[in-house]
Structure 1
Amino acid sequence: MKTDEIKTQFVQAWGVLGTSWGISRSTAQVHALMLLSSSELSTEDIMQQLQLSRGNVNMVLRELVNWNLIYKQTKPGDRKEYFIAEHDIWQIATRIITERKKREIMPAKQTVKALLNSTTDAKDSEQVHIKNMLTELNSFIEQMDAMSELLLKVEKNALLKNVLKMIS
């Protein structure tokens, strides 16, 4: 299979996967293209290769920069901005976990804890059921938070990294 065909298939597949992870198809496709690019790409390069509008590409690039998944670069004598992806898979995973924790796990954790604190005097069966569900949900979120912390430490922990390699 030719390089362009591999890139096209990966970009399309990553775009579909991205939507199931709650990421826009365009964001996933731009990230996929940049992952497979060994050199920096300009906004125009991305627009041309993915057939996306300038506004869409600019918005996606800003989001990927905010997630620390790509970096902005300039070239002397060139007014264009160029972008290059982080290519270290462990760094990518760490950054995604960190952002997801900040945007999803922590707000859910705070909400469930606040609601759980409101159920201290549960009396009827429905209130008891709600309290039990919130207690289980709180426990699950705490475990997810602990697991995310463990995954964030993997990069620094060679033993844990080797254990993960062995079980995969």
Structure 2
Amino acid sequence: MEYSEAKQRYIEAWGSLGSSWGVNRTMAQIHALLMIATMPLSTEDIMDELKISRGNANMNLRALLDWGLAKKVLIPGERKEFFSTDKDPMVLAAQVAKERKKRELDPIIRLLDEVSTVQGDDEQVKEFRKVTTDLKGFAKQADSVINTFIQSNSNWFFKILGKITR
């Protein structure tokens, strides 16, 4: 397979995978492009490579910066902004986990903290309190596991993974 075909297939696949992280396809495609780039890329480089508009590129680069999946790089003598990303899969996975936790798990834990204290003694209230308390316990356990993963290094993760897959 030629490099250009392999590159295109990789970018398309990474774009599709992005929806599993909770990001849009173009944002993931830009991330894929940054991951395989040998040098930081400008907005224009990204626009040309992915055939997208400046607005689309800028919006998705801002989102990548917000997620902590890209960073601005200053190149002496250049007026353009350049972007790069970390290429370590563990760093990437930890950052995605951190952002998803912040955007998805933390809000539901706050909600469950609030609603699980509902007052009353009838059966519906008791069942509601039981279910929401159980969900809160599960969510807090998941939160603890995610926090451990985010703060871990790759050796810890791969040791655990090795034990699970045996």
TM-score scaled by structure 1? Answer: 0.88
The answer to whether the 8 Å contact 1:122/1:131 transfers is no
Distance 1:20 1:67 in 2: 15
Residue ranges of structure 2 left out of the alignment (5+ in a row): none
Would you say 1:164 and 2:154 are equivalent positions?
no
Give secondary structure in 2 for the equivalent of 1:78. coil
Query: How far is 1:162 from its partner?
Result: 4.2
Query: How far is 1:109 from its partner?
Result: 0.7
Which residue of the partner structure matches residue 47 of structure 2?
47
Would you say 1:111 and 2:111 are equivalent positions?
yes
The answer to whether the 8 Å contact 2:72/2:83 transfers is yes
Distance 1:73 1:100 in 2: 25
Would you say 1:136 and 2:134 are equivalent positions?
yes
Distance 1:81 1:18 in 2: 24
Distance 1:13 1:83 in 2: 21
Check 1:164–1:6 CA distance in 2 against 1; reply closer, same or farther (3 A cut): farther
Distance 1:37 1:2 in 2: 17
Residue ranges of structure 1 left out of the alignment (5+ in a row): none
What residue identity is the alignment partner of 2:26?
Answer: S
Share of identical aligned residues, percent?
35
1:49-68, aligned counterparts within 5 Å?
Answer: 49-68=49-68
What residue identity is the alignment partner of 2:130?
Answer: N
The size of the alignment, in residue pairs, is 164
What residue identity is the alignment partner of 2:137?
Answer: S
RMSD across aligned positions (CA): 1.8
